[in-house]
Amino acid sequence: MCQNYSIDFDLSGSELSPAQEDAMLKIYFWFDGVISTTFAMIGLVMNSVTIFILTTKKDMKNMFNYLLSSVLIANNVFLLTKILNAFYWDFRFKSLMWIIPYLVYPIEKTSLAASIFLTISLAHQRWVLTWNPTMYKKLSHPKQSRSKRILYYILPAIIFAFLFKCYSIILITSVKTTGVSFPRLIVVC
């Protein structure tokens, strides 16, 4: 049964009533939990299908498609971490409690940065192609040259992503001791 939640929310800073808090939790569960997880799962499947097509078809094996596949892989890692977060926070899978702060959070932030840096690498590769197409054609034919160029674009993006997000790998938690909270550093590297 669908219930009508037409509750007035006071945004002046006062506390929410129990009915308002219950309505907010239900809205949060449906939008942040169910809908975003559904879209993340659809994105994960679609990205995986695209990666499969780009890497298996013979006529699709070129520098652009390999770089595009690496961006999609980074996006898949990010989507997977978002799904794990939703299962832990929204669907209350408490068995994920031990991997969320130590594995999922750092990988989430690093994969997002890697996706951004790989997109910049992809844009740079396209710029080189349009800037000097004859030189680009000369470099793109040998197979060994292609694999070296792929590493030339992917490896710095991954290294910069890790270095750029290394600060977020250090987590700050609070420990309650006799009613007072003290921050504690946990190094995850």
Per DSSP, 8 falls in state -
- Per-residue pLDDT, 14: 64
Q: What's phi and psi for 15, nearest 5 deg?
A: -75, 155
50-54: average pLDDT: 95
Q: Which of 152, 149, 153, 151 is nearest to 123 (CA)?
A: 153
CA distance 111 to 86: 17
User: pLDDT class for 38, splitting at 50, 70, 90?
Assistant: very high
Q: Tens digits of per-residue pLDDT, 57-114?
A: 888 888 889 999 999 999 999 999 999 988 888 788 888 777 877 788 889 989 999 9
- Per-residue pLDDT of 145-177, as tens digits, reads 777 888 888 999 999 998 887 766 555 444 444
Distance CA 171, CA 106 (A): 9
First to last CA, the chain: 48
Any idea which residue has 């939008």 for tokens? 31
- The enclosing H or E element of 164 equals helix 143-164
What's the predicted TM-score (pTM) here?
0.75
C-alpha angle with apex 47: 155 to 137, nearest 5 degrees? Answer: 50
Three-state secondary-structure class, residue 160: helix
- 162 neighbors 155 (Cβ within 8 angstroms): no
C-alpha radius of gyration, the chain, whole number: 23
